[in-house]
Structure 1
Amino acid sequence: GHLVVFAGDAVQGAPADAARQAAALAASLTRGGGAAGVADVRLVNRADQALAGFLLEEPGPAALSSYAGWNTAGNAFGTAAAHLLMAGILRLDAERGADIRARAAAHAAFLLQRFADDYLYMAAIRPPLETELRVRGASPFNIPGNLYPEIRARLAKDVETRTRTLFAQYFESASLNLGPDAPAFVLSGFSMNTLVPWFRLFEIDPAVSVTLSSAPGPDTGLPPRVRVFAP
């Protein structure tokens, strides 16, 4: 498999142009069942929203073997590389005829978790919450006990609501790309429980599980949906 590392190099032009090029490269690598992951290292502690948006549209998250854009460049790269390696093992086992359904579901869940955490939470939900806490005289790195229950509940609800929309528009009914010889697994549902383990906004634990069906959904003959999504 291939790992696309996105750093938003100025030589490639403006960040949006570079993001579009990186997503197009990932899409070309996944055509025909190819394996490709994406390590987004352009920003610290959050995904690049332009890149994530392009990836969601083309090739689509289910086509990717891995994706990460969290914390440091080393963490994002290491997570994407490790997931790509595990997805490669999954492909080999599929070729050998092994039962990969449970691991395929775990693979899909981790893809959804990374988009929910790195893209939705870190890049879109957390920044305004940090600003709000500072305006209220509190630190986002040490949330006072009297504010913690409120912030935790609001945060979890927001993450789960936006993830539900994200799943419906970009994951649901999509076929996992596990290689041309793998069984056809289609994402049909998910569940999520968002934990905020510490009195700070720096990290959350969006525990995700995904339900797969074994065959593509029926062709309705309808044109593709127009997708309008803002994280």
Structure 2
Amino acid sequence: MSSTTAFNESRTTGRPDDDRIKVVYLPLDERPCNYDYPIALAGMTDLRLIVPDRGLLGDKKQAADTAALAAWMEAAAANAQYALLSIDMLVYGGIVPSRLHEWSPSECQARLAILRRLKLHNPHLRLFAFNLITRAPAYSSSEEEPDYYALHGRELNVYGKLRDKGERETLSPEEEQELEAARRSIPVEILSDFLTRRRTNAFVNEQAIGLAREGIIDFLIIPLDDNAKYGYTSADQRKLTSLVERENLTGKVHIYPGADEIGCTLFARIVCETAGFLPTFHLRFSSSIGPSCIPKYEDRSLNESIKCHLTAAGAVIGDSSDPADVYLMVHSPPVGQADMAETTDRYEDRHRSYYSEVNVREFVQAIRHYASRGRLIALADVALCNGGDHSLMKLLSEEGLLGSISCYAAWNTSGNSLGTVISHAIIEAYNRSKAESERVPEAAAKSRDYYLYRLLEDWGYQSIVRQELCERELPALHADYFRISHVQEQIEAMIGPRLEQFSRKYFPEFGELRVSEVRLPWKRMFEVGFRLETTTLSLAE
């Protein structure tokens, strides 16, 4: 058997299009994580996912044409049952433009008016939306921020962090001095521009909550993008959470760490809602202290974050004494933000707790145990940031257990990975719960292809191939991690063969995998997209 995974359309079905539940999806931006992943999930279901052409969604700092997208939404949603949309895309033209725009609150409010029109023309439409709390990275870089962030980014972050902390507790004399130094170092006009935009974006979130109160928005997620215990995001979160509580919207508006995985999360919630399916998850951690650790780029413990992702997607943690629909194996960090390792760190340079407070042997043994009992196993590989843990994944490969796992994610932040693997696991669990005659044709094959795609991208590319290219190839090409446009095609041509070689080395049991049409969408090494063709040999062959 062979199949090709392009992730550009939701077509898997045995029923005519008119008989299927129609979901209109407006992504956060044009990258694979926001555009392609939900399409891949939809291909495992009998829902019909309608998306705009990728070319309508802008290009990184170039904002999408919001008027054209509004017109597309009105036409596409006229006869749909669900609309799943990014307010950042609808109002600002994408995630990065939301950090750069100069729109006034009234202009943003006018763009939100389309949501009322959607409900007016289609009163039975269920509208699921999400809108980020704008991030403020702790480093100086204008890669995804205003140009001045390259010079003043760190100081802007410090100013927000210490100002927020000072409003909640007493700053030390050293912190008072650091706050004042940060304030003096930031030009007045830059601080004004930055804070004005944040106030506008907070206003849009308040308006979205108001639309949820009115019943225009049926379910709303406000993700915390790259946040921490103190800072602008934390301050905004407190205000919005208080507003949600005052309006009695706690069950309808969820606020928690995340960003690029929310499209997948909300699609999984739609699957659960349309099917009347409440999946149960059993949680198992590789580190006993992992559940209480706060991952990098987040503001709460890993276990609390998992509960947020499960609840938003329509799932629940089951009683440990009962068989669950999904066994979520969480390879967890044994340390907090400051000491959490990245995939670029050498194994021997990790914090000592990675050797003493994580037991991958026992973790792998547990996976083998659950697999022997036919459980649906999903692996959230979040012990490191920005890719899979090669030491764990090698062991799973050596033990022949990769074929016993159904869902996997290990990309970028903990929240990104959790939302990605949980949404896939929910859909896989629902498909397994149905009688054979009721299952969507090719759903199992598409689910397995997506799992393989995740192994190749999150483990193969992010942990291994990307680092190899950055260390061995880019210097000779006079390129670096964020500067590859002059040799982009040359670099893209190197990735496919390396990923194919990686698959032959670590999971040959899945047959020959072919990687083509590799693209680095934002002209940097961070994210990648590609076409995967799989040829899986049956036992008879």
Please tell me the TM-score bracket, short chain as reference.
0.7 to 0.9
**Offset, 1:209:** 3.7
Aligned to 1:37: 378
d(CA) in 2 for partners of 1:61, 1:24: 13
Contact 1:106 1:209 in 2 (8 A): no
Alignment of 1:131 onto 2:471: yes
Contact 2:376 2:405 in 1 (8 A): yes
Alignment of 1:14 onto 2:355: yes
Q: Within 5 Å, which residues of 2 pair with 1:90-109? A: 90-93=431-434, 95-109=435-449
Residue 359 of structure 2 aligns to a residue in which SS? Answer: helix
Residue 141 of structure 1 aligns to a residue in which SS? Answer: coil
Aligned to 2:421: 80
Aligned to 1:193: 516
Contact 1:109 1:210 in 2 (8 A): yes
Which of these residues, 95, 110, 130, is aligned with residue 450 of structure 2? 110
Contact 1:193 1:206 in 2 (8 A): yes
Which amino acid in the other structure matches residue 193 of structure 1?
S
Aligned to 1:171: 510
Contact 2:364 2:396 in 1 (8 A): yes
Contact 2:495 2:518 in 1 (8 A): no
Alignment of 1:122 onto 2:466: no
**Offset, 1:149:** 2.3
Alignment of 1:205 onto 2:529: yes
* Pair 1:122–1:13, CA change in 2 (3 A): closer
d(CA) in 2 for partners of 1:167, 1:122: 17
Q: If the length of structure 1 is used for normalisation, what is the TM-score?
A: 0.74
Alignment of 1:141 onto 2:465: no
Contact 1:61 1:171 in 2 (8 A): no
**Offset, 1:5:** 0.9
d(CA) in 2 for partners of 1:144, 1:206: 18
* Pair 1:53–1:165, CA change in 2 (3 A): closer
Residue 38 of structure 1 aligns to a residue in which SS? Answer: strand
Aligned to 1:64: 405
* Pair 1:209–1:106, CA change in 2 (3 A): farther
Listed one character per residue, the Cα deviations across residues 11-67 of structure 1 (whole Å, up to 9, x for unaligned) are 986179622222222221222211111101111111000111122244622211211
d(CA) in 2 for partners of 1:25, 1:90: 24
**Offset, 1:190:** 4.2
**Rg larger for:** 2
* Pair 1:210–1:23, CA change in 2 (3 A): same
Which amino acid in the other structure matches residue 210 of structure 1?
T
Aligned to 2:344: none
Q: How many residues align structurally?
A: 198
Which amino acid in the other structure matches residue 22 of structure 1?
F
d(CA) in 2 for partners of 1:157, 1:195: 10
Q: If the length of structure 2 is used for normalisation, what is the TM-score?
A: 0.34
Higher relative contact order (CA 8 A, sep 6+): 1
Aligned to 2:494: 154
Which amino acid in the other structure matches residue 519 of structure 2?
V
* Pair 1:142–1:33, CA change in 2 (3 A): same
Contact 1:42 1:48 in 2 (8 A): yes
d(CA) in 2 for partners of 1:61, 1:112: 10
Which of these residues, 304, 327, 330, is aligned with residue 5 of structure 1? 330
Which amino acid in the other structure matches residue 44 of structure 1?
C
Alignment of 1:216 onto 2:523: no
d(CA) in 1 for partners of 2:441, 2:415: 30
d(CA) in 1 for partners of 2:331, 2:475: 32
Contact 1:35 1:88 in 2 (8 A): yes
Which amino acid in the other structure matches residue 106 of structure 1?
K
Contact 1:6 1:41 in 2 (8 A): yes
d(CA) in 1 for partners of 2:451, 2:373: 20
* Pair 1:123–1:54, CA change in 2 (3 A): same
* Pair 1:59–1:158, CA change in 2 (3 A): closer
d(CA) in 2 for partners of 1:15, 1:131: 30
Identical residues among aligned pairs (%): 24
Which amino acid in the other structure matches residue 192 of structure 1?
V
d(CA) in 2 for partners of 1:35, 1:27: 12
**Offset, 1:8:** 4.0
Instruction: List gaps (5 residues or longer) in structure 1.
Output: 173-188, 219-231
* Pair 1:15–1:70, CA change in 2 (3 A): farther
Residue 373 of structure 2 aligns to a residue in which SS? Answer: helix
Residue 26 of structure 1 aligns to a residue in which SS? Answer: helix
**Offset, 1:103:** 0.8
